[in-house]
Structure 1
Amino acid sequence: MEHIISTIEADTATTADFAALPLPESYRGATVRRDEAGMFEGMASRDKDPGASLRVEDVPTPPLGPGEAIVAVMASAVNYNTVWSAIFEPVPTFGFLERYGRSRPDAAHHDRPYHVVGSDLAGVVLRTGPGVTRWRPGDRVVAHCLSVELESADGHGDTMLDPEQRIWGYETNYGGLAELALVKANQLMPKPEHLTWEEAACSGLVNSTAYRQLVSRNGAGMKQGDVVLVWGAGGGLGSYATQLALNGGGIPVCVVSGERKAALVRSMGAELVIDRSAEGYRFWKDEHTPDPREWKRLGARIRDLTGGDDPDIVFEHPGRETFGASVYVARRGGTVVTCASTSGFQHQFDNRYLWTSLKRVVGTHFANYREAWEANRLISRGMVHPTLSVTHPLAEVGEAARAVHRNLHSGKVGVLGLAPRAGLGVRDHELRERHRPAIDRFRTEAG
């Protein structure tokens, strides 16, 4: 590993130099274990500790197949699917790995008693398999997390509709929270060269997801002037949705969980902010009973901020806690677009407000390669900025996941892989200096 790191840091190594590097027989990765999948049985989700199940251990380097690449991971990031993997919800991920391993002979090695998790990376290509022509050893890359086979006709209009579509590092093994990662070559995209490794690593999943959900014709198809209610606008996903709304001429109404995050989204240019903690919103009377009066109070607050307009689009991802309110506050003919359920998967809402007001609920899930590439291009051009707030070494991945699970973070939480320290990997210093305040915004807030 030291030889790999020194070759990357030399910054003058050629494709041949990288191709000549021997791959180690094993590497360190953040894993969960099959035999521990029942460790949280009987506990409420909020009480489960991902730091108790995530461990960093040596795992064998996987074989390289056709159309694949092995990447030296300089940095990665924690996403909610890492938390779900670590608390074994809604189901343990080993069922995904087992099914993938049975689906094709060249995937059998994904079915292991350990799961190397993580769905983001920035790093350097070390090896490419047969059939890969776009990428070469030594290329500096980031990865999106769509793993797809495309043997069915269903995926050729939109790869997210392929029946063999999976999320890398969640439904496949050998993810990005590690020193090495195995990816399909069509997951790779150019690293934004004005960013550090950890900054470049933190945007792939959330920025692509927000782009499809909000901008793409496969999602809400936001247009200029649309009022967009963004839940969790100071968090990982919402911080990118807020930027995309502002860039595209939308009018974000940002819901946050405290004044600290309210100040953050205002610093991004958002003017309409709801601090749900300070204003005391409670959308459930108890565990089983929603409170429509709170939906109405939220709707009135939004109209007060917008000058009388209801949201054209509601950017949903909390799920159970907020979904009833989201359906209620969307304007007549408006769209609730959802990509996750971080507060619970069983939603409850009043369908009268959906059907009689001709509203739509649209489900989106990550992004196809084209959408991910377009989202990454915005990052590379300095039009959307990473929202990295804090970076941990790989050894502290459990602590990083715990912070995300408990919503103690702002923006994204990064994790170093092979990068010996934060702050490395920048090549385009001119573009970086032009956007430094925006790049540093979430990190400065975190102190």
Structure 2
Amino acid sequence: MNPNFAAAVVAAPDAAAVAAIPVPEYYRGAVLLEDDQHMFDDIPIAEREPAKALHVRDVPTPEPGPGEALIAVMASAVNYNTVWSALFAPVPTFSFLRRYARTGDLAARHAQPYHVIGSDLAGIVLRTGPGVQRWRPGDRVVAHCLSVQLQHPDGHDDSMLDPEQRIWGYETNFGGLADLALVKANQLMPKATHLTWEEAASPGLVNSTVYRQLVSPHGAGMRLGDNVLIWGAAGGLGSFAVQYALCGGATPICVVSSSEKAEVCRRMGAEAVIDREAEAYRFWRDDTTQDPREWRRFGQRIRELTGGEDPDIVFEHPGRETFGASVYVARRGGTVVTCASTSGYEHQFDNRHLWMSLKRIVGTHFANYREAWQANRLVVRGRIHPTLSVTYPLDDVGQAVDDLHRNRHQGKVGVLCLAAAEGGGVEDPELRERHLTAINRFRPPAGCAA
């Protein structure tokens, strides 16, 4: 791609000027190859190396169809679905692409021998397809990752219930870890003017997921005064859960795996923090047997931090490793709300602690457009802040994904695409200055290695 392309798009003064910039026939993207999809078949998931599956190469530029937009991607971010994609687990994503392609019409383009992955972006609208009214070339946008046609009645009360909803960049092609991306117009939202490209790209998927999981009536419906136990509180999802709990008048009880991550939670304003490594919690005696004594010890520690109260809400996403403890420690009538299973999908728990104490388990998955818009609105207004800790160039996306896979990260890991360096894209420096400390909470102190 012409190195002057990005500069021309950023400098263009209006929609007509952006529309006059020629769109390149090929663009650079982080891709998986269909020929590689069985490369890890005999290797345990924990030992797989995602960087070996990821390739940065040029692919043909798709033409936006009705209701679609082509975006010049300035920056993106990695998520756990990026990790799963690159590990070809639990199934290779090419099965998703083929299934989508069978729905016909424009969807057929998504079945390629390559998969451009990535479910976050911040960038500039280049082109729009027929029927797009809200957005024009030159608009600075972020994208949320729900791809849905809304042609089934089940989706019209909550689009996440639509049987044809998919996660863009995971179950569809042409994702955000690239110089260009193809999205539906109903994925787009305004970019926060006080954030850089890489900061603005990082909240999308996790911020919207957490909003639905904690705040929305489709999730836990968090209320003022609730105690919220948050697993992985310094990670991508957990760091937003802490912010929502504090912003909503709840009390976060943060569970982390190191003293450094505990300090990050305290910088966000949390007071109740449990370092599970320092306190040596081991919820499994072996691969098949959980240890209820550890559940009880964990529950007692939570009560010490809350003045004798159990969690009203348990914010779950680790899955197998922690789920038995989560069901046990939730208060009578409380809620375990889950959106993922990063440590394993097969959950085990003692059902007596669920039914006899009238607890409930709620499953949530990403967010509908309304929920994503509300979550983004809080970012735009400076109420919820990005949790970006480190940013890599697109050529090093394999390292970025491996950081998540090995849990070496805090908050979110960003990726520069068309942006040549960090720091660009800020349009409101005054608002930025007011929130600069919060924006930088997850970055390492000056002079320290990332």
TM over 0.5: yes
Q: Which residue number corresponds to residue 437 of structure 1?
A: 437
Distance in 1 between residues matched to 2:396 and 2:4, nearest whole Å: 24
Query: Retained in 2: the 8 A contact 1:196–1:422?
Result: yes
Distance in 1 between residues matched to 2:187 and 2:437, nearest whole Å: 30
Query: Retained in 2: the 8 A contact 1:29–1:177?
Result: yes
Residue by residue, what CA displacement relative to the aligned partner does 1:192-212 show, whole Å, maximum 9, x if unpaired? 010000000000000000000
Residue by residue, what CA displacement relative to the aligned partner does 1:137-160 show, whole Å, maximum 9, x if unpaired? 000000000000100100000000
- Kindly report which structure 2 residues correspond to 1:104-253, keeping only aligned pairs within 5 A, or say none: 104-253=104-253
Distance in 2 between residues matched to 1:37 and 1:346, nearest whole Å: 23
- Per the TM alignment, residue 3 of structure 1 is displaced from its structure 2 partner at its CA by 3.9
Q: Which residue number corresponds to residue 387 of structure 1?
A: 387
Q: Secondary structure at the match of 2:160?
A: helix
Q: Which residue number corresponds to residue 5 of structure 2?
A: 4
Q: How many residues align?
A: 446
Residue by residue, what CA displacement relative to the aligned partner does 1:221-279 show, whole Å, maximum 9, x if unpaired? 00000000000000010000000000000000000010000000001000000000000
State the superposition RMSD in angstroms: 0.8
Residue by residue, what CA displacement relative to the aligned partner does 1:30-71 show, whole Å, maximum 9, x if unpaired? 011111111111222111111110110111111211000000
Q: Secondary structure at the match of 2:219?
A: coil
Distance in 1 between residues matched to 2:89 and 2:321, nearest whole Å: 17
- Kindly report which structure 2 residues correspond to 1:403-418, keeping only aligned pairs within 5 A, or say none: 403-418=403-418
- Per the TM alignment, residue 379 of structure 1 is displaced from its structure 2 partner at its CA by 0.5
Q: Secondary structure at the match of 2:305?
A: helix
Q: Secondary structure at the match of 2:414?
A: strand
- Per the TM alignment, residue 21 of structure 1 is displaced from its structure 2 partner at its CA by 1.2
> Percent identity at matched positions?
69
Q: What amino acid is the match of 1:70?
A: L
Stretches of structure 2 lacking an aligned partner (at least 5 in a row):
none
TM-score, normalised with respect to structure 2: 0.98
TM-score, normalised with respect to structure 1: 0.99
Q: What amino acid is the match of 1:270?
A: A
Q: Secondary structure at the match of 1:214?
A: helix
Q: What amino acid is the match of 1:17?
A: A
Q: What amino acid is the match of 1:117?
A: I
Q: What amino acid is the match of 1:83?
A: V
- Per the TM alignment, residue 290 of structure 1 is displaced from its structure 2 partner at its CA by 1.1
Q: Secondary structure at the match of 1:237?
A: helix
Alignment of 1:345 with 2:351, yes or no, is: no
Distance in 1 between residues matched to 2:380 and 2:10, nearest whole Å: 21
Query: Retained in 2: the 8 A contact 1:311–1:331?
Result: yes
Q: Which residue number corresponds to residue 82 of structure 2?
A: 82
- Per the TM alignment, residue 182 of structure 1 is displaced from its structure 2 partner at its CA by 0.2
- Per the TM alignment, residue 390 of structure 1 is displaced from its structure 2 partner at its CA by 0.2
Stretches of structure 1 lacking an aligned partner (at least 5 in a row):
none
Distance in 2 between residues matched to 1:63 and 1:439, nearest whole Å: 36
Q: What amino acid is the match of 2:238?
A: G
- Per the TM alignment, residue 444 of structure 1 is displaced from its structure 2 partner at its CA by 3.1
Q: What amino acid is the match of 1:139?
A: D
Q: Which residue number corresponds to residue 367 of structure 2?
A: 367
Q: Which residue number corresponds to residue 13 of structure 1?
A: 13
Query: Retained in 2: the 8 A contact 1:7–1:13?
Result: no
Distance in 2 between residues matched to 1:63 and 1:129, nearest whole Å: 8
- Per the TM alignment, residue 8 of structure 1 is displaced from its structure 2 partner at its CA by 3.1
Q: Secondary structure at the match of 1:419?
A: coil
Distance in 1 between residues matched to 2:385 and 2:121, nearest whole Å: 16
Distance in 2 between residues matched to 1:372 and 1:189, nearest whole Å: 9
Query: Retained in 1: the 8 A contact 2:63–2:70?
Result: no
